[in-house]
Amino acid sequence: MHQNTSLKIFPIEAGPVATYGYMVSDGEAGIAAVIDVPLGSAEYFLENAQKENVTITHILLTHSHWDHTGDAAKLQQATSAKILVHPDDEYRMAEPNKHTSIPLPFVLEGCKADGYLRGGDSFSLGAWQFEVRHTPGHTEGGICFIDHERNLAFVGDTLFQGSIGRTDLAGGDMPTLLNAIRTQLFTLSDDVIVLPGHGERTRIGIEKRTNPFLM
């Protein structure tokens, strides 16, 4: 199969709680999307978009916790990108400081959704093709973006290397999250690479065999 060398991923770990955001770009099509925008990441994405000569057209949110949306407003203002989120998670976005687990020593800039993504939807960006899977349990509207052709899963805080997203915050529920992982992620091929919102990347097969929360 011909390898499309114009497709690239630009990851960054940023913000006070070391959150990952990812830019996926298609240089041939001249467009890119950003999956989660932690505080301090907007400049990185803008610099790389300029280097690659691509326009950021969309901001895709795996969920609406502040550490994943911190620079979404800033990036949108610089690019006019459309922000897409699951409708069940939209309520935190306008006033993010009201939805933090502890008071933060800084003011977060709110943003609003331009559209919604639900489980079963697909999202296309140039040659990138993502299936959207709804994985509630960490938040009500958590979603993952699955690229079946390249065996990639951008999972936000649903699943980590050897762990899972916390369920003790508002909107969290442990049985719901475990069910979502088993039915929406563990049904993927074992060699699918998991790109999480925190920590090291892993693979579906490794987590099926070794993740202590799911054994």
Residue 181 has pLDDT above 60, yes or no: yes
Residue 1 has pLDDT above 60, yes or no: no
Which range of residues forms the domain containing residue 188?
Answer: 7-210
Q: What is the mean pLDDT of residues 173-194?
A: 98
The one-letter code for the residue type at 210 is T
Q: How many domains does the chain have?
A: 1
Within the chain, what is the greatest distance between any pair of CA atoms? 51
Establish if 70 belongs to a structural domain: yes
Establish if 161 belongs to a structural domain: yes
User: What is the pTM (predicted TM-score) of this model?
Assistant: 0.97
Establish if 1 belongs to a structural domain: no
Q: What is the mean pLDDT of residues 177-206?
A: 98
Return the CATH number at 160. Answer: 3.60.15.10
Tell me the per-residue pLDDT of 101-124, one tens digit each, with 9 for 90 and over. 999 999 999 999 999 999 999 999
Q: What is the mean pLDDT of residues 95-105?
A: 95
Establish if 215 belongs to a structural domain: no
Q: Give the residue among 135, 145, 212 at the shortest CA–CA distance from 177.
A: 135
Establish if 180 belongs to a structural domain: yes
Dihedral of CA atoms 63, 22, 76, 88 in degrees, nearest 10, equals -10
Rounded to an integer, what is the distance from CA 58 to the centroid of its chain?
Answer: 12
Cα(75)–Cα(95) distance, integer angstroms = 17
Establish if 32 belongs to a structural domain: yes
Establish if 24 belongs to a structural domain: yes
Tell me the per-residue pLDDT of 121-178, one tens digit each, with 9 for 90 and over. 999 999 999 999 999 999 999 999 999 999 999 999 999 999 999 999 999 999 999 9
- In which band, very low, low, confident or very high, does the pLDDT at 3 lie, cut at 50, 70 and 90? low
Residue 184 has pLDDT above 60, yes or no: yes
Tell me the per-residue pLDDT of 6-30, one tens digit each, with 9 for 90 and over. 999 999 999 999 999 999 999 999 9
- How far is the CA of 51 from the CAs of 9, 46, 109, 172, 191, in angstroms? 13, 9, 27, 39, 31
